[in-house]
Amino acid sequence: MRMRTLSATLLVALTAVVLVTATLAAPASATSMRTWSRLAKCESGGNWHINTHNGYYGGLQISSGTWRAHGGKKYGSNAHRASKRQQVVIAKRIKRSQGWGAWPSCSRRIGAR
């Protein structure tokens, strides 16, 4: 009976170590695609290829200057010409340099900051 209790305790401890390690291994700055989709829903109604001629483009409403400064020209002249995935790649760079403040109203509205 004593050996069974020891084995159970060891299993629980090992499981806890694995869970903590997995949690710590995930980057703190990782933002899920779901979060980017929610942000786009707020910014552009979820239309990743929108160009309303207001100086902001794509699902996350990125200006031309910001798009170019963060390497977006590799994917298209403006964000609305890039795929959702490509826009998110650039958005992650923007977030690293500017934080959620790049999307002040919507990031607050979706609870990202």
Segment 19-29, tens digit of pLDDT = 444 434 444 45
Reply yes or no on whether the pLDDT at 10 is more than 80.
no
Indicate the class that CATH gives domain 33-109: mainly alpha
Of the candidate ranges 2-11, 55-64, 87-96, 104-113, the one whose mean pLDDT is the lowest? 2-11
Q: What's the whole-model pTM score? A: 0.74
Q: Provide Rg for the chain, Cα atoms.
A: 21
Task: Describe the crossing of helices 33-44 and 84-98 by its angle, rounded to 10 degrees.
Answer: 90
CA separation, residue 66 to residues 37, 78, 94, 98 (Å): 19, 10, 8, 10
Separation of alpha carbons 71 and 82, rounded Å: 12
